[in-house]
Amino acid sequence: MGGKNTILTKFPLAGTKNGMISVSHLEEPYGSGSFAVVSIGIALKKNGEEPDWKAHIPYENLDELISALQDAKARFGTESK
């Protein structure tokens, strides 16, 4: 399952010593002919080859997801500081 994975960015996972968040473009995530998605991976160990958790977001849902994340940050983002 899953075609070509192109990592777009990686950055440290806040609140962990070695965790990483990765954002990738994943082609054919569910087999031949399936539409590409954005894959968000969370790894608790920086050198881990496979993330511990993944979320696949269809490109058609990115605007809604970005809006929801901005809302969460605006409403609750100051709580972690």
Among all chains, which residue has been given the structure tokens 């809302």? 71
Number of domains in the chain: 1
Domain that holds residue 34: 5-80
pLDDT of residue 1: 56
Exposed e or buried b per residue across 46-81, where buried means at least 16 C-beta atoms within 10 angstroms of its C-beta: eeeeebeebebbeeeeeeeeeeeeeeeeeeeeeeee
Residue 7 is predicted with a pLDDT of 94
Tens digit of pLDDT at every position of the chain (81 positions): 568 999 999 999 999 999 999 999 999 999 999 999 999 999 998 765 689 999 999 999 999 999 999 999 999 987 655
Taking alpha carbons only, the member of 79, 53, 57 closest to residue 68 is 57
Residue 19: which residues within 8 A CB-CB, separation 6 or more?
A: 12, 13, 42, 43, 44, 45, 46
